[in-house]
Amino acid sequence: MDGMNEYRVTAGEEDGISGMGGAGMPERNEADEIKAARKHFSRLGGMYILGTIIIFAVQLIPTTLLQLVKPEWLENGNISLMVSVLPMYIIGMPVLILLVRTIPKEEVERHSMRAGSFVIAAIMCFAVVYITNFAGNLITALIGTLKGSTVQNQVLNVTQSVSMWMIVLYMVICAPVMEEFVFRKLIVDRTVRYGQGAAVVMSGLMFGLFHGNLNQFVYAFTLGMFLAYLYVKTGNIKITIALHMLINFMGGVVSSGLMRMLDLDAYMQAMTGGDMASMMDYIQANLAGIMAYAVFVVFVAGMMIAGGVLLIVNLVKRKFVLERGSVVIPKGKRFSTMIGNAGMLLYSLFWIVMIVVQLFI
């Protein structure tokens, strides 16, 4: 396992013995530890910003060429999405993975998860997503009101413009597999030596920022931290991939299918018609979709309540335990060490600018 020799801590270092360690090696100085940690996090952020630039480049080139040769093809939602995501998954992210794998890592210890625990984790996962997505929508709605125009919901725009098979391929299969490997395994394995808390926060933050818009940042940040917590406790990336697939299936396939069943264009026509007869005609024509959507609303409410209760109970009982790492960053120096370095500042500022721009386009 690459980098493990760098991560060993001698008995003397763990016990804080002054001078020479038990094996005759000098104790590491705290200032040197912090300097090394800043360099490590900076390198991590640097690799991710470099990978981000490469992803943008491999997406921009085919899109620009198609715009010059066959611009009408980009009006097709499926083609437009494929031109964007295929280069990212085939070229961009694999290059990012190769870059990040040059950074030393520490394997997370594997533990099994029972079926019942997986179900409970799934319920809490849904609660985290639905509650924070609601909060994110409120924030963007407020911003939209202040600026006098609606903030575009990129996920809704995508799911309403492409076919269902494309949603399944992109949102349910490709995105969860790639994103969990890139933003869970790669990041956690390379930050867990500084404590599980550091790994969880870094994974959630970098995952949330990568989405590039405020609508998704809020719930992606919190979901990313929750999935990172599950990974540091199980060491099994397949568990977080499965949960990510489940979340995206409900948020992409099910919700998109329901929106199509409701025939929103017909609904808007009935609403603008201003008469009861038009609305009754719409209800009769779309009764199945309305009933299905009502069931979905009940499901969402149920997950928010049940998952919220489970989260609160586990927090009160202090079940969410984050263990210290082999290197402890002192309080008061954690932000400056983990985020306040060149690489992470570049990565964070790049995506913050993208989020702000998206709010006003």
What are 113-143's pLDDT values in tens digits? Answer: 999 999 999 999 999 999 999 999 999 989 9
Q: What is the mean pLDDT of the chain?
A: 88
- Give yes or no for residue 17 having a pLDDT over 60: no
Q: What percent of the chain has pLDDT over 70?
A: 90
pLDDT tens digit sequence for 210-261? 999 998 999 999 999 999 999 999 999 999 999 999 999 999 999 988 888 8
Find the mean pLDDT for residues 19-38: 66
- Give yes or no for residue 9 having a pLDDT over 70: no
Residue type, position 35, single letter: K
pLDDT of residue 30: 80
Which range, of 76-85, 103-112, 199-208, 276-285, averages the lowest pLDDT? 276-285
pTM for the predicted model, two decimal places? 0.87
